[in-house]
Amino acid sequence: MLSKQKIKRQINNITHIAEMLYSTELVGASRLRRSQARLKEVSPYSDVIEILLRDLLNGIDREKLAEYPLLWSPVEATRRLLMVVGGERGLCGGYIASLVKMCEQFVSNNPESDIVVYGSRTGKTLLRRGYNVIETYPLNPLLTFDNVEAISNNIQRRFLNNGYREVDIIYISPQSALLSTPKETVLLPLETSYKDYKEAKNIEEYIIEPSAETIVKTLVPMALTVRLYRIFLEAVTSEYSARRIAMHQAYENAKKMLERLNIIYQKLRQNEITTEIIEVSSSKMALEEGYNE
């Protein structure tokens, strides 16, 4: 049975841990609010660019854009490039496990795949499991549009030079303050990415200068970069949300454990006091009996 001293040490240790968890939760909540604000600023701009590009692609004769490489898969290509935007650090519950599970499903369906990971912890996890991770990059939660533009240019070069059939991306998107879901989507070619779009406006509704084809060729790299920027912000926001929730749950568990330990400690203390009272009473009775004799 644990002694009162050991219980007291456990209470002190868990109290310190609970304080750290609470501080981490507060820091996570602050970072989450900032990340949500950045995502809220980018989302309308991203939506407008994607809608415009989809409308233009659905209104242009495809033969006029046949030679634009980012719109079409290389005819002879078979391999696929998978981008995984994951966690840079741990302590975020099942965030990384959800990404790994979706990667497993993707690779099982597409065995000829190369993987590029943004997020050190996620990259190490996938490497330990034996996946074909060709590059791992740290994920800076304060990344700027210029950072993402460099990533976008790198992905475009890989798609064009290495002859990938598709570039897919897996990340976790926030649905609400408490819910985030893993997503898989096609980045390149854009024709595949937008092929299911059924609500395109008539291209004649736009005033276009110099021509729709010229604008599409200029807009495609920009749209890809904006889309990636939004995806990275969504991934960072989801990681912050997952970490805040994990820290909150851990803090609540620590409080419950402290309550149980305090009850045990008080019972031990009460038993100790009761034992001491009985010993004092017994000693007093023994002394009184001795005097009477």
Q: Does the pLDDT of residue 156 top 70, yes or no?
A: yes
Looking at residue 240, its pLDDT comes to: 86
pLDDT in tens, 202-237: 555 666 777 777 777 778 888 888 999 999 999 888
Looking at residue 62, its pLDDT comes to: 65
Contacts of 78 (CB under 8 A, 6+ apart): 112, 165
186: left (phi over 0), alpha (psi -120 to 50) or beta: beta
Mean pLDDT of the chain: 81
Taking the complete model, does pTM exceed 0.75, yes or no? Answer: yes
Give the domains, in start order, of the chain with CATH numbers. 20-247 (3.40.1380.10)
Q: Does the pLDDT of residue 198 top 50, yes or no?
A: no
Average pLDDT over residues 120-139: 86
Report how far residue 255's alpha carbon sits from residue 248's, in angstroms, rounded to the nearest whole number. 11
Q: Does the pLDDT of residue 73 top 60, yes or no?
A: yes
Report how far residue 32's alpha carbon sits from residue 118's, in angstroms, rounded to the nearest whole number. 19
